[in-house]
Amino acid sequence: MSNVENQIHHYAFALYSIYEEKDKKFLDELNSVFNSFYHQKDIIGILSSNNLSKQERKRIIKNIFENNIDKYLINFLCVLIDNNFMHNVLFIIQDFFTYYNREKNIAFLKIITPFPLEDNIIKKIIDKHKNKFNKEIVYTVEIDKSLIAGFKIIYNDNNILDYSIKGKIDNLRHQIKTTKGE
């Protein structure tokens, strides 16, 4: 593990320590901070730039987030500025949520389907995977018309279960190419 990855883990764990003293509102605020930075990556560049003093960058943080998020979270962001580590804020928050999900026994599912699913179908998918993983499930649903029919599930951001027609066609293509190559 690199020094930067190690530092990211330390900051994420520090965030988790702050969270343990707070309530669910803290999670919502942290998610809001993540989304703000994720959708406005220019802000991270500004807050990481040495063209502005650390005091000016902290003032920007306070102007953006004051009265919207917990003061401890604002202070945490200011510490990142003080330590010239603000450019890693998205990685730190992602690492926090990875740690949080592991500690709280939560699996994250992204259900990708070519059309909206009825609630009872989503419930069946969630229940099946809740039992399969023996974890609480948090999920999102995304529409991707290229799947043709069926659905695809991505869990914990990197594992894919493909039950789509497109996936079956792609798998068949791969098998045909492999067989021809023998």
- Averaged in consecutive runs of 10 residues, what is the pLDDT profile of the chain (182 residues)? 88 90 86 92 92 95 91 94 95 92 88 90 90 88 87 81 82 83 58
pTM: predicted TM-score of the whole model, two decimal places: 0.72
Residue type, 141: V
> Which tokens sit at 92?
């730190």
Residues 170 and 86 in one domain: no
> In whole angstroms, what is the distance from residue 102 CA to residue 138 CA?
13
In this structure, what CATH number is given to the domain that contains residue 41?
1.10.520
The whole-angstrom separation of Cα 79 and Cα 59 is: 13
Last residue of a domain, one of 60, 82, 101: 101
Task: Tell me: do 97 and 109 sit in the same domain.
Answer: no
DSSP secondary-structure letter at 21?
A: T
Predicted pLDDT of residue 22: 82
**Boundary residue ending a domain (51, 80, 101):** 101
- Same structural domain, 7 and 89: yes
Q: What is the spatial distance between Cα 179 and Cα 182, in angstroms, rounded to a whole number? A: 5
Q: Bridge partners of 155?
A: 109, 159
Q: Are residues 135 and 75 in the same domain?
A: no
Same-domain pairing of 62 and 79: yes
Residue 175: the pLDDT is 86
Query: What are 117-149's pLDDT values in tens digits?
Result: 899 999 999 998 888 888 898 888 999 888 888
Residues 132 and 69 in one domain: no
Residues 158, 146, single domain; the answer is yes
Which residue range forms the structural domain that includes residue 95? 3-101
Q: Judge contact between 156 and 132, C-beta under 8 A.
A: no
Number of separate domains in the chain: 2
**Of 101, 117, 143, the domain-final residue:** 101
pLDDT the model gives residue 182: 55
| pLDDT of the residue at 62 | 94
Cα Rg of the chain (Å, integer)? 21
Residue 130 phi/psi, 5° resolution? Answer: -65, -45
* Helix, strand or coil, per DSSP, at residue 162: strand
Quote the tokens at residue 54.
């650390």
Q: What is the pLDDT of residue 149?
A: 85
